[in-house]
């Protein structure tokens, strides 16, 4: 056969070659596609991170701002004005104090007086055994009046006075000469000095019947 008669092969691909070429091309394109596209979960995570960073910046900005102090008059249980109000008068009463919440260390010495204790507010059950002694009680003392000289069958008055602002608790009288008979009109607190609530004198009016005599009044006083 001559050279011109040798049959030439054409460039057409058989079906098997097409399949193989398509598969190779797919393997090359898939990684590129996967690298260029993100899943919905990945996109959501990225947005969340951006939002968190934005919130962090806003919180930091708010924290860096100086806080404005409250001003103006205080109300409710407070008195005075902001920024330094005080607790108003009578704002703290029994409902605001829990049972057993006040201990001895919470009470300033000498801060509780007669005005802070209700009438009959302290009974025997409120006083511990041997908790009240001489140092917790007011002291007492006696005062004797100067002698009041009187003639026979004559009345005379004698007055024993406590120290200023102290209170008389009781009293009595005595004659210098006890052998003489005598008559007494009264022996009592003198309400004209201090009044009925806080008398500070003991007054006696009596008479010696037989001879001249001297009358003395005495008072038991409470130190206030």
Q: What is the mean pLDDT of residues 93-111?
A: 82
Residue range 23-48: average pLDDT? Answer: 58
**For 61-91, b where at least 16 C-beta lie within 10 A, e where not — what string?**
eeeeeeeeeeeeebeeeeeeeeeebeeeeee
Rounded mean pLDDT, 212-216: 93
Would you say 204 and 224 are in contact if contact means Cβ atoms under 8 Å apart?
Answer: no
Confidence of residue 117 (pLDDT cuts 50, 70, 90): confident
CB 193 within 8 A of CB 161: yes
* Top-confidence residue, 1 or 150: 150
CB 168 within 8 A of CB 202: yes
Q: What pLDDT score does 111 carry?
A: 80
Q: pTM for the full model? A: 0.44
């Amino acid at each position: 056969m001559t050279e011109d008669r040798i049959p030439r092969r054409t460039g057409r691909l058989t079906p098997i070659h097409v399949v193989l070429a398509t598969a190779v091309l797919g393997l090359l394109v898939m990684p590129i596609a996967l690298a260029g596209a993100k899943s919905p979960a990945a996109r959501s995570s990225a947005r969340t991170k951006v939002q968190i960073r934005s919130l962090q910046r806003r919180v930091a900005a708010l924290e860096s701002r100086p806080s404005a102090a409250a001003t103006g008059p205080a109300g409710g249980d407070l008195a005075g004005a902001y920024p330094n109000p005080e607790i108003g008068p009578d704002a703290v009463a029994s409902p605001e104090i829990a049972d057993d919440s006040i201990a001895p260390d919470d009470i300033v010495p000498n801060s509780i007086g007669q005005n802070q204790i209700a009438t009959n507010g302290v009974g025997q059950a409120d006083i511990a055994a041997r908790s009240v002694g001489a140092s917790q009680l007011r002291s007492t003392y006696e005062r004797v009046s100067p002698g009041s000289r009187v003639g026979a069958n004559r009345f005379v008055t004698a007055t024993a006075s406590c120290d200023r602002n102290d209170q008389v608790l009781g009293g009595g009288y005595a004659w210098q000469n006890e052998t003489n008979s005598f008559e007494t009109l009264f022996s009592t607190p003198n309400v004209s000095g201090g009044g009925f609530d806080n008398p500070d004198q003991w007054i006696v009016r009596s008479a010696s019947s037989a001879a001249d005599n001297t009358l003395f009044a005495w008072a038991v006083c409470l130190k206030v």
